[in-house]
Amino acid sequence: MDITLTGILILICIIIYSSWDTFYRKRNLPPGPTPLPLVGTLLHIRRGELVNSLMKLWSQYGAVYTLYFGSRRVVVICGYNAMKEALIDQGEVFGARGHMPIMEKYVQGYGINLSNGERWRLLRTFAVKTLKSFGFGKKSIESKIQTEAQCLVEEFRNSNGQPLAPNKNLIDAFSNVLCAVMFGDRFEYKDERFIKFLQVAEQILSLASSKWGQLYSILPTIMKYVPGPHHDIIRISEKLRDFFLERVNASMETLDPTSPRHFIDSFLIKMAEEKNNPDTEFHLKNLLMTSHNLFVAGMETVSVTLRSGLLILLKYPEIQAKIHREIDQVIGGDRAPNYEDRVEMHYTQAVIQEIHRFSDVIPLNLPHMVTRDIQFRGYDIPKGTEIYPLLCTVHRDPKQFSSPWKFDPNRFLDENGRFKKNEAVMPFSAGKRMCPGEVLARMELFIFFTTILQNFKLTSMKEFTETDIAPKMAGFLNAPIHYELSFLPRKI
């Protein structure tokens, strides 16, 4: 036997031996497919069909099952009841963040999205409080959203009814709302700095969602050594950092410590207050990473939700007509829609809720992790195990929704036609890690949706099918197909 063969045999023995403890040592773990050395249970995930494969395993193994991405153990949680038991009833234990290797490469545990423990608690509490004080859910942010929605309407009006893909316009508008919150001002859509900034942010998101980014997320230990575009994430993210740094420096020059104007000002004031604390979490690195986090998390998600919603209205003109009627009755044509209008717009609320459920924008949620050993539904989950609380299984849970694959806003109306909530619609997740941008996102979606429909009838040359409007997984997000539509001005 030559040396190479001996070497290969020794390597195989090492792999089998090291896999033994991870995979096969008898533990009371949730059930799941049998893992293989090196690949774990990856062979049970069909290429390009991650969501469907995980849903299929749900029907095979039940609401809690175990998978292995290589040698990384992941416990998957499915359906509304199990999700509530984990993220809400046991929120403290299930509330830590799991791994997102492609993002971790740049973020390195700073900021909110990927941090844990005391750093996460301090930064998240600060962000939620500060964003609230700048008007999340209040009038000040509402007027900024209304201004942006009117600018968007102007853009659509200038298209003179010609078909266009709304992607860029929506990204511009929602990013501008975030800019207003973070730095206090909006940009003209043609401003070179804004265009460059959005290009960089877009590059980061598409790299993270690309095949390379996903491979890196599933097999980080191997992909670390494989050359490819996934290594560019640091270089690109640094460009975004430079943009934030410019804004931070500009804010510093004009800062009045008694009167913060926006998120960055408030963070700078907190940094000054804590400058003598050597362990403070309020330093420049956390400010830059938190800004990065808020943009990466808040730009594309809202825009994709609205893009899915507009496509659905093209497929169902009768639903669009009903919303037009409700807008005409409640708001009319002489004033801009405001968030309070929703209270009287039961049908529109039901449609938006159904858009959230049906378009299921973050189907796999972000990964969580358990902070200690825990017994869950009769199984033992060891401390540090990664948890995938799948939102797609909640939004398609047949125990909560009849015909879950069908778009039907009537499921959210009671017998008197009034909007009725259902806790099983959780696009923003639930529990300790729940999206802190929820209030902003809901306000944006309602105001943009009603402002667009107050002004336009949406049409398309193409007839869309149920398959066309079904969510399509692209990286982390379920995005709609590429489509064009015409904005025909309405007279009320």
- The backbone torsions φ and ψ at residue 489, rounded to the nearest 5 degrees and listed phi first, read -60, 140
Which of 172, 244, 433, 449 forms a contact with ligand HEM (CB under 6 A)? Answer: 433
Which among 32-40, 312-320, 358-366, 483-491 is the span making contact with ligand HEM, rule CB under 6 A?
358-366
Measured CA to CA in angstroms, residue 240 lies from 204, 225, 281, 284 at distances of 9, 25, 21, 14
Q: Does residue 96 sit in helix, strand or coil?
A: strand
Which among 270-278, 293-301, 313-321, 414-422 is the span making contact with ligand HEM, rule CB under 6 A?
293-301
Indicate whether 173 belongs to the interface with ligand HEM (CB under 6 A): no
Indicate whether 357 belongs to the interface with ligand HEM (CB under 6 A): no
Indicate whether 302 belongs to the interface with ligand HEM (CB under 6 A): yes
Give the residue nearest to ligand HEM (CB): 437
Contacts of 56 (CB under 8 A, 6+ apart): none
Output the smallest distance, CB 481 to ligand HEM, in A. Answer: 19
Indicate whether 427 belongs to the interface with ligand HEM (CB under 6 A): yes
Indicate whether 353 belongs to the interface with ligand HEM (CB under 6 A): no
Output the smallest distance, CB 84 to ligand HEM, in A. Answer: 13
Task: Give the closest residue to 484 by CA, choosing from 228, 161, 211.
Answer: 161
Indicate whether 218 belongs to the interface with ligand HEM (CB under 6 A): no
Residue 55, sorted as left (phi over 0), alpha (psi -120 to 50) or beta, turns out to be alpha
Indicate whether 305 belongs to the interface with ligand HEM (CB under 6 A): yes
Indicate whether 362 belongs to the interface with ligand HEM (CB under 6 A): yes
Strand partners, 486: 459
Binding mask 439-478 for ligand HEM (x = CB under 6 A): -xx-------------------------------------
Rank residues 413 and 434 by Cβ distance to ligand HEM and give the closer one.
434
Indicate whether 135 belongs to the interface with ligand HEM (CB under 6 A): no
Report the alpha-carbon distance of residue 183 to residue 261 in Å, rounded.
Answer: 8
Residue 98, sorted as left (phi over 0), alpha (psi -120 to 50) or beta, turns out to be beta
DSSP run (H or E) holding 274: none
Rank residues 73 and 97 by Cβ distance to ligand HEM and give the closer one.
97
Q: Which amino acid is at 125?
A: T
Output the smallest distance, CB 193 to ligand HEM, in A. Answer: 21
Would you say 147 and 448 are in contact if contact means Cβ atoms under 8 Å apart? no
Output the smallest distance, CB 9 to ligand HEM, in A. Answer: 44
Indicate whether 365 belongs to the interface with ligand HEM (CB under 6 A): yes
Place of tokens 């792999």: 15
- The backbone torsions φ and ψ at residue 381, rounded to the nearest 5 degrees and listed phi first, read -115, 115
- Parallel, antiparallel, or unpaired for β 64-69 and 368-369? unpaired
Binding mask 100-129 for ligand HEM (x = CB under 6 A): ------------xx----------x-----
Which among 12-20, 421-429, 452-460, 464-472 is the span making contact with ligand HEM, rule CB under 6 A?
421-429
Task: Give the closest residue to 97 by CA, choosing from 106, 85, 105, 87.
Answer: 87
Indicate whether 428 belongs to the interface with ligand HEM (CB under 6 A): yes
Indicate whether 76 belongs to the interface with ligand HEM (CB under 6 A): no
- Parallel, antiparallel, or unpaired for β 386-389 and 72-77? parallel
Which among 73-81, 192-200, 295-303, 310-318 is the span making contact with ligand HEM, rule CB under 6 A?
295-303
Output the smallest distance, CB 424 to ligand HEM, in A. Answer: 14
Which of 40, 220, 260, 298 forms a contact with ligand HEM (CB under 6 A)? Answer: 298
Output the smallest distance, CB 161 to ligand HEM, in A. Answer: 28
Would you say 491 and 324 are in contact if contact means Cβ atoms under 8 Å apart? no
Which among 202-210, 230-238, 266-274, 298-306 is the span making contact with ligand HEM, rule CB under 6 A?
298-306
Residue 89, sorted as left (phi over 0), alpha (psi -120 to 50) or beta, turns out to be alpha
Report the alpha-carbon distance of residue 293 to residue 296 in Å, rounded.
Answer: 5
Which of 309, 337, 409, 437 forms a contact with ligand HEM (CB under 6 A)? Answer: 437
Measured CA to CA in angstroms, residue 144 lies from 150, 236, 304, 306, 440 at distances of 10, 29, 20, 18, 11
Residues binding ligand HEM: number (CB under 6 A): 25
Output the smallest distance, CB 74 to ligand HEM, in A. Answer: 14
Sign of CA dihedral 420, 422, 423, 428: negative
Contacts of 152 (CB under 8 A, 6+ apart): 169, 170, 172, 173, 448, 451, 452
Rank residues 125 and 277 by Cβ distance to ligand HEM and give the closer one.
125
Would you say 397 and 79 are in contact if contact means Cβ atoms under 8 Å apart? yes
Indicate whether 84 belongs to the interface with ligand HEM (CB under 6 A): no
Q: Which amino acid is at 447?
A: I
Output the smallest distance, CB 73 to ligand HEM, in A. Answer: 19
DSSP run (H or E) holding 68: strand 64-69
- The backbone torsions φ and ψ at residue 406, rounded to the nearest 5 degrees and listed phi first, read -100, 140
Output the smallest distance, CB 221 to ligand HEM, in A. Answer: 23
Strand partners, 457: 488
Indicate whether 301 belongs to the interface with ligand HEM (CB under 6 A): yes
Output the smallest distance, CB 2 to ligand HEM, in A. Answer: 52
Output the smallest distance, CB 363 to ligand HEM, in A. Answer: 9
Which residues in this chain contact ligand HEM in the complex, by CB under 6 A? 97, 112-113, 124, 293-294, 297-298, 301-302, 305, 361-362, 365-366, 427-429, 433-437, 440-441
